[in-house]
Chains A and B, each alone.
Chain A
Amino acid sequence: MTLPVEVKDLTIRYGDTVAVDGLTLGLDGGKIYGLLGRNGSGKTSVLSAVAAFRKATSGAVLVDGAEPFENAALTRQICFVRDRVDAQDTDQVRAVLKMSRALRPNWDEEYAQALIERFHLPLKKRIGALSRGAKSALSVTLGLAARAPLTIFDEAYLGMDAPSRYAFYEELLNDYIAHPRTIIISTHLIEEVGSLFEEVVIIDKGKLVAHDETEALRARGVAVTGPVEAVDAFTAGRTVLGDQRLGGTRSTTVYGQLTDEERARARDAGLELGPVGLQDLFVHLTAEERR
């Protein structure tokens, strides 16, 4: 079972601050989405509304065609995992897991045990005594083992070290293939997790900046690699997103698609063309001067 999400003209205000500003967005069910945005861009507010953690100031959020807020049939099918565990510092890890086991209708205890072992979760420790990494590991364990048809990870794994994060990506992908569901991942580690996304949503200042399939988004720019002089000549006058140089070789990422003629000219000049990195594109689309 997977759940589609529809956000219609959503606005969320905190006093005078507008966190989400008339956002409209449609996510089909059964895909992994990346939600990208700078700090304070409104990502968590949008996800909180989708997960029924807060009400919208105006507009609507529909999950599987219905409002999720205080909708018991939907909320039990939504798992919103934040960067902090929704438990008290005095709670033991095993008590937190026990609570999810009792309340989550699709909870897979066998899988939870496997994740506990893989992430070396100390069951007897209290939440307050856990390292940041262990807290994140507990968060992702709760999110994965819940097997909710709509699962949302809001920077849930930021505290984990690199090997643990890669273990999480592997578990996420394998479990998604075995048990398809709608997954939304909000993250700042774009390059690291970008290959998992089927579609990417970029928001800035509470507004939608881009929503496209990952490959289509990456095709909005080109990475031009080759001899320094040839790259410089080819990219002159274009919007440069990023630039790297090693000896006589330069790789410059430019925004905008190339015509067939331009591609042929690049090949004739001995240049290699590749897709733009998601992170470069994200930085460009949310750059200060565009705000």
Chain B
Amino acid sequence: MTTSTPWLVARTQARAGLTTVAGYWAIMITIYAVIITIVVSVGDTDVSIWATSGGSAPKYFLLAIGVMLTTAYLPGYVGNGVTRRDYALGASLYVLAVAAVYAVIMTLGFLVEHAIYSSADLMGGLEDPYPVRSLADGLGTLVAELFVGIIYLCCGWLMGTCFYRFGAWWGIGLIPVTLLPVVVTEVGFDSLWLGYGINNGLGIERPALAVGVLMAAVSVAAAWFVNFALIRAVAIKKVSG
């Protein structure tokens, strides 16, 4: 049985890229472990350290991974006889895998931190209720983080494609447009910090999970289809010196 090309791309890309993903999370978790050890020693905190640290850095990392998908990896695949269409489909599977890793780690992080805060008697000092307090909260967080992961990867990918296809100046100019789906998704899930900040600033209540999922799904579809259309006709440039 011959393996389909998109699947082959996804597998090859996972082999090439998951080491970087694993390396990032190892560093992130190590830093978190140091901070939480200090917090537990001090015995006082008013926020979830996991939500605070996980609210920005991992998302920027996903954005960067997305940027590289066209700019760094596409030429190598086309150079090996893969069509842009098959690459886009295969890379999308890779995006799903990376986003799933992000969502699972983020959700597990809350569960672990909840246990730590409970055993260290830190829950009482929190300003807001702890983000994950039940199985339903956990599942909701998993779904929300999955969409957040996908949208950051997709928008990073779209941003990279715009730079690759239209050049640096147009790429810079289009950044606000390429990040619009991220903003919509963050608002939909009231995510830290962008969505939370906008909702707080405008006095908007946290939308229901179903509304957030709908907003995110539309955003992902829009980013993915525009990116797909741009990739299909892009000319391949030279990549190494």
Residues on A facing B (Cβ under 8 Å): 48, 52-55, 70-72, 75-80, 82, 84-89, 95-96, 99-100, 102-105, 127-128, 135, 148
Contacts and interface: CB of A to CB of B under 8 A. Distances in A.
A57 to B, nearest CB: 11
Contact of A55 (B8, B16, B235, B241): B235
B206 interface: no
Interface string B61-100: 0000000000010011111111111100000000000000
A100 B80 contact: yes
A103 B76 CA distance: 10
B83 A148 contact: no
A9 to B, nearest CB: 20
Interface of B: 5, 8-9, 11-12, 16, 72, 75-86, 232-233, 235-236, 238-241
Contacts of B86: 72
Contacts of A128: 240-241
Contact of B76 (A70, A80, A87): A87
A99 B236 contact: no
A99 B241 contact: no
B79 A84 contact: no
Given A72-B5, A99-B16, A127-B240, A88 B79 contact: no
A77 B81 contact: yes
Given A70-B232, A127-B240, A86 B83 contact: no
Nearest to A85: B240
Contacts of B5: 72, 76
A48 B81 contact: no
A104 B81 contact: yes
Given A102-B12, A104-B81, A84 B238 contact: yes
Contact of B84 (A48, A70, A78): A70
A148 B79 CA distance: 12
Given A70-B85, A75-B82, A103-B82, A88 B239 contact: yes
Contacts of A105: 81
B75 A103 contact: no
Nearest to B236: A53
A78 B238 contact: no
Contacts of B81: 75-79, 103-105, 148
Given A86-B236, A86-B238, A87-B239, 7 more contacts: A48-B235, A53-B78, A72-B86, A78-B81, A95-B16, A104-B81, A135-B240
B88 to A, nearest CB: 11
A88 B80 contact: no
Contacts of B239: 84-88
A235 B81 CA distance: 51
Contacts of B241: 84, 89, 128
